[in-house]
Chains A and B, each alone.
Chain A
């Protein structure tokens, strides 16, 4: 069955500061959309708001999957509906190997965990994830490349309808990037996965073969186009494009993120 994620007029803010200022996007099954934008343009906020992270207040708009509004659902139910977020900085969960994690996810879906375990094994092989990383706590002491391979592995095992990939190309080497891009690309063709990839580099595009490129600046999509748009960006840079389009606000001065682990004194 073909799925469709529809984001319309999405506005969100943190501590009263508006970061998304009316975003419209549509991603269908088998499609690859890439959102590009400079640092501080609201890219990561977009991915977190779609998945329902609590730190953001959605003030307006809608995120709907196959006609069902997701914004009223908690994160885990969005996942259950077929949404997946591969994170830019996947957090470590010591003592919880990836097998246990997907087994628990399988159980909430009412699926057989054993089947998922088989898929973990098969995907680990496809993604060149060695046993060591399957037995260790997920992301615990992983390098950037290993983290992203692990995110891709979970994506492939959980087989969502739509995947949001938040800077899956950052912090990994050429080999890992190739493996990851190749696997995601295969899922779009074989499993009809719809992809919304967020990045500020061009290099992910080579492996992913996007259908549409969107440029996010100042919390809005300021341009959309085919793959050629990426080439244009490469030449002009974000500032050049902004000048061409007459966009003034390129980046947003965001309030600093609060790291709960940085708090001293307890």
Chain B
């Protein structure tokens, strides 16, 4: 058997095995004796031997398919080694990997995760609930909206300062059980493994003096009474913002940029200002308390100096107004200060100002709506408003200014004149370092300044506690820890100090924490072994499910696999168990002319969930190889299975895989499929939805370079009512590569209320390449909604020229367009696999671009 037409030089990601060192290597070819031999060598139970022999008969009976003979003329079933037992044992250590494989991993830029995996440990994600507010230079933002490029605040453990830090990665990390941790009015929801910065007393028994030590403690191990780190202040950040100017600035002049004066004025206006519609003209008025003459004078002075407008006190002494302030009214509207007492908000631009301007804004607002309470023991500031949203904005702004504020509370009072009428208002209480507010009303600033007690969060009796605190870092006691149900969670990765400030708390980022994988799994009752061992060690489960989703008679290649299978993974997840970390396996073809026939079986019992990831690679041999795997998934009611494949076979491997899942009632199965290597891939992951409300999903990316054909797609069988499915396929072809989408959506009679959506997008990088789409639908039920959309686009010269005009060379520009194209898929992958997929495509294109 010879090979022609494959330019091996172009494949750069493979390696070659030079030694031919195998313990057992039967004759090439396929017959009953070979199959018996295989079974014998694996010491299999009798039922498996029978299963294999029956499958062989079916394989022989099935006619050779026409497309096979046409597409794969080089494959001769009698010239294949069906089973080779290599000397290599399962590698358990990075150092045991062949050199070539290591080089490939290094080139992929992801050696770290693989090393750890091979050392028997896995990545673990620490997460926060999606709505968690993170302190960023753009204000407080929900963690789920953060991504690379955002700037958050991070604790430098050495200097105890809070510094700016860049977000370098972000991911949705699945649904997790949430713990709510409550301390000093702040609440944060985190997964049990999320570490917090904690001070614990490590004093030796019998010693009086406490010895506090700062350490990272997982939420699970936090106790009520623990001291957790909070950020009490932030470094200054932000820039003065440009202001919108009125079209017709008649009767005034307007600053182009914010300043402390302008911000104080804006804050005051938010509290007490309004636009009075007087006939055709609008004018700006500010409600004042004539008794506070100092404040009235200050408002008049600032308004004059900022805008050149003179305000005058009205007859009743209750408001300031000026003639010809229409332009000022427009200025107010343009810059987001408009609205009524109930609708005004703190404009977005305020959150990005420098500290002095942010503080001036709050001070202006406090001068308008605030009151400094002069208690004997302490003072605090109360801001009262009818507008709860405005107070919420203020609270967020205060957090960015190092001033703490309470929750917004609702207060009800009786109307002063009509005792039956109840008035509802909202209040915000400020504490902490509010003396830094540059209030200009003497009534307020005097009291702020004369404060007797400074709230610092760093007192603890008889300890060396303060040694651990700073102007920016304090510690508060945990008041309560509660379970708060399961929620979608997110994590971010932060450069530098690997932590960030969320809801005021200092929390660790998702820098991957590795822990012993297998032991954890065993404790949960999860079975995860290779298929060969599973047949021997867990016969009762294997026998019950093996070959039930894809019976040997399904197709010729399934029959072949059933007869000679070897290797693959077996996973069983007991009812209700959620496996947090993705389980992984790597397959490789071991010898020239070898077939790879692995067999994988995954069962998620009721309500369980698991994510399995496989990567496939093969060295480049001089003759073609066959990979024909069978993968069966069974998702019991309410279970969830996600199966991710990144296939990177060398370009002389024929890759024919039968993948099928059974999704029972309310179960979800997702196939995520990246096909990069191989000469020809024919793979159509299927989900058969047998129970009501089951859901199936296939997301796939295919890349076909020179001499490659990726014929991939999906099959969705809706056999029960109200089942739903999504197929999202993306393909890229380049340098004469060919991609095909082939898909089937089948809705059986009686499966009412089915919804299915198919979307396939193809990107063609040059004139020689090709893409085809063959969507099939078989709908036997009237009440079904099946949608299909397909796009084909070429990377236009326009896009390349655009990116190149920004300074990217052609290769970078093409890679960027391609990565953008597959982004909808990569964002569903765990971070390191997303990186791997992008990197693989880049390397493949590099090889082709040359």
Residues 20 to 68 of chain A near chain B (Cβ within 8 Å): 51, 53-55
Q: How far is the CA of A134 from the CA of B771 in the complex (A)?
A: 32
Q: Does A117 contact B (CB under 8 A)?
A: yes
Asked whether A96 lies within 8 Å of B819 as measured between CB atoms, the reply is yes
Q: How far is the CA of A250 from the CA of B806 in the complex (A)?
A: 32
Kindly supply a per-residue 1/0 record for chain A positions 85-122, scoring 1 wherever the CB is within 8 Å of any chain B CB and 0 otherwise: 10100110111110111111100110000100110111
Q: How far is the CA of A105 from the CA of B802 in the complex (A)?
A: 12
CB-CB under 8 A from A231, the residues of chain B are none
Asked whether B797 lies within 8 Å of A158 as measured between CB atoms, the reply is no
Q: How far is the CA of A125 from the CA of B804 in the complex (A)?
A: 26
Q: Does A209 contact B (CB under 8 A)?
A: no
Q: Does A74 contact B (CB under 8 A)?
A: yes
Q: Does B428 contact A (CB under 8 A)?
A: no
Interface centre among B137, B799, B820 (most CB of A within 10 A): B820
Checking B792, B803, B805, B812 against A51 with a beta-carbon cut-off of 8 angstroms, the contacting residue is B805
CB-CB under 8 A from A266, the residues of chain B are 764, 770-771, 792, 794
Residues 762 to 780 of chain B near chain A (Cβ within 8 Å): 764, 770-771
Checking A94, A102, A126 against B242 with a beta-carbon cut-off of 8 angstroms, the contacting residue is A126
Interface centre among B764, B794, B804 (most CB of A within 10 A): B804
Asked whether B138 lies within 8 Å of A121 as measured between CB atoms, the reply is yes
Interface centre among A55, A84, A100, A158 (most CB of B within 10 A): A100
CB-CB under 8 A from B808, the residues of chain A are 76, 101, 104-105, 108
Checking B166, B809, B816, B819 against A117 with a beta-carbon cut-off of 8 angstroms, the contacting residue is B166
CB-CB under 8 A from B147, the residues of chain A are 135
Asked whether B166 lies within 8 Å of A102 as measured between CB atoms, the reply is no
Asked whether A95 lies within 8 Å of B239 as measured between CB atoms, the reply is no
Asked whether A79 lies within 8 Å of B820 as measured between CB atoms, the reply is no
Q: Does A75 contact B (CB under 8 A)?
A: yes
Q: How far is the CA of A158 from the CA of B803 in the complex (A)?
A: 13
Asked whether A76 lies within 8 Å of B809 as measured between CB atoms, the reply is yes
Asked whether B803 lies within 8 Å of A101 as measured between CB atoms, the reply is yes
Q: Does B149 contact A (CB under 8 A)?
A: yes
The chain A residue sitting closest to B815, CB to CB, is A104
CB-CB under 8 A from B441, the residues of chain A are none
Asked whether B823 lies within 8 Å of A95 as measured between CB atoms, the reply is yes
With known contacts A95-B821, A137-B820, A85–B805 Cβ distance under 8 A = yes
Q: How far is the CA of A55 from the CA of B817 in the complex (A)?
A: 21
Q: Does B426 contact A (CB under 8 A)?
A: no
Asked whether B799 lies within 8 Å of A91 as measured between CB atoms, the reply is yes
Q: How far is the CA of A87 from the CA of B805 in the complex (A)?
A: 10
CB-CB under 8 A from A101, the residues of chain B are 803, 806, 808, 816
Asked whether B807 lies within 8 Å of A260 as measured between CB atoms, the reply is no
Q: Does B796 contact A (CB under 8 A)?
A: yes
Asked whether B805 lies within 8 Å of A93 as measured between CB atoms, the reply is no
Residues 745 to 799 of chain B near chain A (Cβ within 8 Å): 764, 770-771, 792-794, 796-799
For residue A207, give the distance in angstroms from its CB to the closest CB of chain B: 12
The chain A residue sitting closest to B801, CB to CB, is A53
Asked whether B796 lies within 8 Å of A93 as measured between CB atoms, the reply is no
CB-CB under 8 A from A120, the residues of chain B are 149
Q: How far is the CA of A35 from the CA of B821 in the complex (A)?
A: 37
Q: How far is the CA of A65 from the CA of B242 in the complex (A)?
A: 33
Please tell me the size bucket of the interface on A: 35 or more
Asked whether B804 lies within 8 Å of A75 as measured between CB atoms, the reply is yes
Q: Does B847 contact A (CB under 8 A)?
A: no
With known contacts A117-B166, A118-B151, A79–B805 Cβ distance under 8 A = yes
Asked whether B805 lies within 8 Å of A84 as measured between CB atoms, the reply is yes
Q: How far is the CA of A261 from the CA of B824 in the complex (A)?
A: 22
Q: How far is the CA of A53 from the CA of B799 in the complex (A)?
A: 11
CB-CB under 8 A from B793, the residues of chain A are 261
Checking B138, B349, B807, B820 against A94 with a beta-carbon cut-off of 8 angstroms, the contacting residue is B820
Asked whether A96 lies within 8 Å of B138 as measured between CB atoms, the reply is no
For residue A22, give the distance in angstroms from its CB to the closest CB of chain B: 25
Q: Does A247 contact B (CB under 8 A)?
A: no
Residues 51 to 106 of chain B near chain A (Cβ within 8 Å): none
With known contacts A84-B805, A108-B809, A91–B149 Cβ distance under 8 A = no
Asked whether A121 lies within 8 Å of B805 as measured between CB atoms, the reply is no
Interface centre among A74, A79, A90, A266 (most CB of B within 10 A): A266
Q: How far is the CA of A158 from the CA of B807 in the complex (A)?
A: 9
Asked whether A93 lies within 8 Å of B799 as measured between CB atoms, the reply is yes
Asked whether B805 lies within 8 Å of A75 as measured between CB atoms, the reply is yes
Checking B771, B796, B809, B820 against A91 with a beta-carbon cut-off of 8 angstroms, the contacting residue is B796
The chain A residue sitting closest to B821, CB to CB, is A95
For residue A182, give the distance in angstroms from its CB to the closest CB of chain B: 8
Count of residues in B whose CB is under 8 Å from the partner chain: 44
Q: Does A188 contact B (CB under 8 A)?
A: no
Q: How far is the CA of A104 from the CA of B684 in the complex (A)?
A: 36
Interface centre among A87, A97, A108, A121 (most CB of B within 10 A): A121
Q: How far is the CA of A244 from the CA of B594 in the complex (A)?
A: 84
Checking B148, B797, B812, B823 against A104 with a beta-carbon cut-off of 8 angstroms, the contacting residue is B812
CB-CB under 8 A from A199, the residues of chain B are none
CB-CB under 8 A from B823, the residues of chain A are 94-96, 137
Asked whether B812 lies within 8 Å of A108 as measured between CB atoms, the reply is yes
CB-CB under 8 A from B812, the residues of chain A are 104, 108
Q: Does B474 contact A (CB under 8 A)?
A: no
Checking A74, A90, A117, A126 against B804 with a beta-carbon cut-off of 8 angstroms, the contacting residue is A74
CB-CB under 8 A from B178, the residues of chain A are none
Asked whether B796 lies within 8 Å of A261 as measured between CB atoms, the reply is yes
Asked whether B816 lies within 8 Å of A93 as measured between CB atoms, the reply is yes
Q: How far is the CA of A95 from the CA of B821 in the complex (A)?
A: 6
Checking A51, A84, A125 against B241 with a beta-carbon cut-off of 8 angstroms, the contacting residue is A125
Q: Does B694 contact A (CB under 8 A)?
A: no
For residue B31, give the distance in angstroms from its CB to the closest CB of chain A: 47
Q: Does B840 contact A (CB under 8 A)?
A: no
CB-CB under 8 A from A99, the residues of chain B are 148-149
With known contacts A117-B166, A266-B771, A79–B821 Cβ distance under 8 A = no
Q: How far is the CA of A192 from the CA of B348 in the complex (A)?
A: 31
For residue A259, give the distance in angstroms from its CB to the closest CB of chain B: 8
Residues 518 to 573 of chain B near chain A (Cβ within 8 Å): none
Q: How far is the CA of A76 from the CA of B809 in the complex (A)?
A: 6
Q: How far is the CA of A184 from the CA of B324 in the complex (A)?
A: 32
Kindly supply a per-residue 1/0 record for chain B positions 801-838, scoring 1 wherever the CB is within 8 Å of any chain A CB and 0 otherwise: 11111111110110011011111100000000000000
For residue B109, give the distance in angstroms from its CB to the closest CB of chain A: 15
For residue B349, give the distance in angstroms from its CB to the closest CB of chain A: 7
Asked whether B816 lies within 8 Å of A260 as measured between CB atoms, the reply is no
CB-CB under 8 A from B354, the residues of chain A are none
Q: Does B352 contact A (CB under 8 A)?
A: yes
Checking A93, A121, A158 against B802 with a beta-carbon cut-off of 8 angstroms, the contacting residue is A93
CB-CB under 8 A from A75, the residues of chain B are 801, 804-805
Asked whether A93 lies within 8 Å of B801 as measured between CB atoms, the reply is no
Q: Does A206 contact B (CB under 8 A)?
A: no
Asked whether A122 lies within 8 Å of B822 as measured between CB atoms, the reply is no
Asked whether B797 lies within 8 Å of A54 as measured between CB atoms, the reply is yes
Q: How far is the CA of A75 from the CA of B802 in the complex (A)?
A: 10
Residues 681 to 717 of chain B near chain A (Cβ within 8 Å): none
Q: How far is the CA of A114 from the CA of B810 in the complex (A)?
A: 23
Checking A80, A85, A95, A182 against B819 with a beta-carbon cut-off of 8 angstroms, the contacting residue is A95
The chain B residue sitting closest to A90, CB to CB, is B802
Q: Does A152 contact B (CB under 8 A)?
A: no
Task: Give the 5 A-B CB pairs with smallest separation, nearest first.
Answer: A95-B820, A95-B823, A96-B820, A79-B807, A75-B804
Name 13 A/B residue pairs within 8 A (Cβ), A-sorted: A53-B801, A76-B809, A79-B805, A79-B806, A84-B806, A91-B796, A99-B149, A102-B806, A108-B807, A108-B809, A125-B241, A125-B242, A131-B138
- Besides A101-B803, A126-B241, 4 more A-B contacts (Cβ < 8 Å) are A94-B820, A118-B151, A120-B149, A122-B239
On B, residues with C-beta under 8 Å from A are 137-138, 145, 147-149, 151, 166, 239, 241-242, 349, 352, 495, 764, 770-771, 792-794, 796-799, 801-810, 812-813, 816-817, 819-824
On A, residues with C-beta under 8 Å from B are 51, 53-55, 74-76, 79-80, 84-85, 87, 90-91, 93-97, 99-105, 108-109, 114, 117-118, 120-122, 125-126, 131, 134-135, 137, 154, 158, 182, 260-261, 266
